[in-house]
């Protein structure tokens, strides 16, 4: 699993296109695009995307460790990534996430904003297709892994769509929402399928469920105690107004993402330090950090704080700075 192969890049366009496309199914994309929709597009769109994303990713990650289908053999395949090589292959969670995010965004916005239906559909198809193809190009999945992941995600979207409004209403109004949003993900993380060797799937799943839990608590608090902000705004034609709008959009994004990344860094340091003191291990001890009693609370607390910060603290800061 630690073996690497030498390779020569013959087509730099495909190489950079698919390396970039692969990043659209990883943390760097989640931690930027999902908050961006909350700060600059619409609360309801962001809530629905996060609900679908967390459910789809949990099912995909657990399915990998239950099915235990190996990734493509290398050689003959050349693998351009090594971090996820320890994971099993079927289904491709990159394909699942790309399908879930792109099509849930399309479905959630098509009745809120005026744009051609065909344009939205093509954009969702192109986005998900690029991510799926990137998994083949980088040698991380077989065609069956990718098709399986996309199909599972599509089926889950079809099943979840009729319940979107009901789930959204309960998450905003139920007095049990904060308790449910924290306890259920934690139970799922602590009862994650056990493997004979360490795989990053449990840690990645904990990050996703933690971020969704923190964001959901934030949604509930905002609905209970704060006025709705960042509702969809219609921009009328005119270069000055469009330019002004873009300044506010970029300002909200850069302020917000700076606070989110700072929160992640601070919480990682604090929580790891506390756990290191509790279980008597050096913070840089990678093996100790992979233990269940360390990895789950470390990643869940860190990323639940990230989700909460993105939905509660950042909007308050935007209002204070006049970026609303």
Closest by alpha carbon to 80, among 7, 129, 2?
7
Flag whether 2 is in a domain: no
Shared domain for 184 and 138, answered yes or no, is: no
Element (H, E) at 136: helix 117-137
Q: Rounded to 5 degrees, what angle do the CA atoms 186, 178, 316 make? A: 115
* Residue after which a domain boundary falls, among 164, 184, 212: 164
Flag whether 237 is in a domain: no
Element (H, E) at 131: helix 117-137
- Domain hosting 106: range is 8-164
Flag whether 126 is in a domain: yes
Q: Are 60 and 93 in contact (CB under 8 A)?
A: yes
Prior bond of 76 cis (ω within 30°): yes
* Residue after which a domain boundary falls, among 111, 132, 164: 164
**Residue 102 falls in which region: left (phi positive, over 0), alpha (psi -120 to 50) or beta:** alpha
Shared domain for 150 and 195, answered yes or no, is: no
* pLDDT tens digits for range 29-62: 888 888 888 888 888 888 888 989 999 999 998 9
pLDDT score, position 25: 78
89 exposed, middle or buried (CB, 10 Å; 0-12, 13-18, 19+)?
Answer: buried
CB atoms within 10 A of CB 252: 23
Shared domain for 15 and 116, answered yes or no, is: yes
Shared domain for 130 and 53, answered yes or no, is: yes
C-alpha span between 77 and 116 (Å, rounded)? 41
Shared domain for 26 and 104, answered yes or no, is: yes
Flag whether 283 is in a domain: yes
Shared domain for 84 and 211, answered yes or no, is: no
Flag whether 45 is in a domain: yes
Q: Percentage of the chain surpassing pLDDT 90?
A: 23
Flag whether 234 is in a domain: no
Whether 256 shows a pLDDT value over 60: the answer reads yes
* Residue after which a domain boundary falls, among 142, 164, 186: 164
pLDDT score, position 122: 92
- Kindly state the DSSP code that residue 162 receives in the 8-state scheme: G
Shared domain for 187 and 155, answered yes or no, is: no
* pLDDT tens digits for range 161-174: 888 888 888 888 88
Q: How many domains does the chain have?
A: 2
pLDDT score, position 235: 39
Flag whether 233 is in a domain: no
pLDDT score, position 232: 43
Question: Sorting pLDDT into bands at 50, 70 and 90, what band is 1?
Answer: very low
Shared domain for 193 and 87, answered yes or no, is: no
Catalytic residues: 94, 141
Query: Which pair of tokens denotes residue 321?
Result: 């700075």
- What is the average per-residue pLDDT within 143-162? 90
Shared domain for 12 and 157, answered yes or no, is: yes
Shared domain for 87 and 154, answered yes or no, is: yes
Checking 175-180 for CB contacts under 8 A at 24+ apart, the result is: 177/216, 177/217, 177/220, 178/217, 178/220, 178/221
Shared domain for 122 and 49, answered yes or no, is: yes
Q: Provide the whole-model pTM.
A: 0.83
179 exposed, middle or buried (CB, 10 Å; 0-12, 13-18, 19+)?
Answer: exposed
pLDDT score, position 239: 38
Least confident segment among 145-154, 213-222, 226-235: 226-235
Least confident segment among 13-27, 128-142, 234-248: 234-248
Flag whether 98 is in a domain: yes
Shared domain for 190 and 73, answered yes or no, is: no
Least confident segment among 33-42, 129-138, 150-159, 229-238: 229-238
């Amino acid at each position: 699993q630690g073996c690497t192969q030498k390779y020569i890049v013959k087509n730099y366009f495909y190489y950079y296109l698919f390396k970039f496309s692969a990043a659209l199914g990883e943390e760097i994309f989640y931690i930027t695009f999902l908050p961006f929709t909350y700060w600059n597009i619409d609360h309801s769109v962001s809530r629905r995307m996060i609900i679908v994303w967390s459910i789809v990713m949990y099912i995909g990650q657990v399915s990998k460790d239950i099915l235990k289908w190996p990734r493509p053999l290398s050689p003959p395949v050349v693998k351009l990534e090594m971090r996820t090589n320890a994971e099993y292959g079927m289904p491709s969670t990159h394909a699942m996430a790309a399908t879930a995010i792109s099509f849930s965004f399309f479905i959630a916005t098509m009745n809120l904003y005026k744009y051609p239906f065909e344009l939205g559909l093509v954009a969702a198809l192109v986005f998900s297709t690029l991510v799926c193809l990137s998994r083949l190009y980088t040698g991380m999945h077989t065609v069956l892994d990718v098709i399986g992941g996309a199909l599972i995600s599509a089926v889950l979207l079809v099943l979840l769509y009729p319940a979107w409004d009901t789930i959204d209403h309960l998450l905003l109004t139920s007095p049990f929402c904060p308790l449910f949003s924290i306890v259920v993900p934690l139970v799922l993380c602590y009862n994650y399928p056990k493997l004979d060797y360490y795989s990053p799937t449990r840690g990645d799943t904990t990050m996703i469920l933690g971020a969704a839990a923190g964001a959901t608590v934030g949604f509930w608090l905002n609905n209970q105690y704060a006025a709705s902000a960042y509702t969809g705004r219609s921009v009328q034609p005119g270069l000055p107004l469009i330019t002004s709008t873009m300044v506010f959009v970029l300002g909200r994004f850069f302020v917000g993402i700076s606070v989110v990344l700072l929160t992640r860094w601070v919480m990682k340091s604090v929580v790891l330090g506390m756990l290191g003191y509790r279980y008597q291990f050096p913070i840089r001890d990678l093996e100790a950090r992979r233990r269940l009693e360390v990895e789950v609370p470390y990643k869940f607390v860190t990323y639940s704080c990230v989700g909460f910060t993105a939905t509660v603290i950042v909007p308050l800061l935007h209002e204070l700075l006049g970026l609303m």
